[in-house]
Amino acid sequence: MIFWGYHQWGLTHTTKFTRDYYAIAETISELTKYPIDEPESYQQGGGYTDCFIEEFEKPAFTVEIGQLIEDSSLPLEEFPDIWERNKNVGLFLAEKAFERKKNSESKK
């Protein structure tokens, strides 16, 4: 599952939020076949994504790659499927970051 929109109060429905939703979240969903969901308001954060959102006031997301199994780790036999679904995400995000950096430099 891809959690998108967690406590992004000032950003929701802005141009940047919409741009990032369509340019990043939907593409990652297509790559991984994970659904996009917005966490419920009662859910608590505290991870790096949440700190990033609060500190930099930029959209961010969390990708949950496996099913919750009590307080246990995912079974090792699930790794091949998880890898297959996620192996292109890092390169995709690096390309997006490079595009944004190049575009911001060209505007200077």
DSSP 57-91: ----EEE--S---TTSPPPGGGHHHHHHHHTTHHH
- Mean pLDDT of all residues in 89-97: 91
Query: Does the predicted model carry a pTM greater than 0.75?
Result: no
Task: Give the 3-state secondary structure of residue 30.
Answer: helix
Give residue 2's pLDDT band: very low, low, confident or very high (50, 70, 90). confident
Give residue 89's pLDDT band: very low, low, confident or very high (50, 70, 90). very high
Residue 45's nearest CA partner among 6, 17, 9 is 6
| pLDDT tens readout for residues 58-87 | 767 888 888 777 777 888 899 999 999 999
Give the separation between CA 108 and CA 14, rounded to whole angstroms: 23
| pLDDT tens readout for residues 3-57 | 876 655 555 556 666 777 777 889 999 999 999 887 666 555 567 877 887 787 6
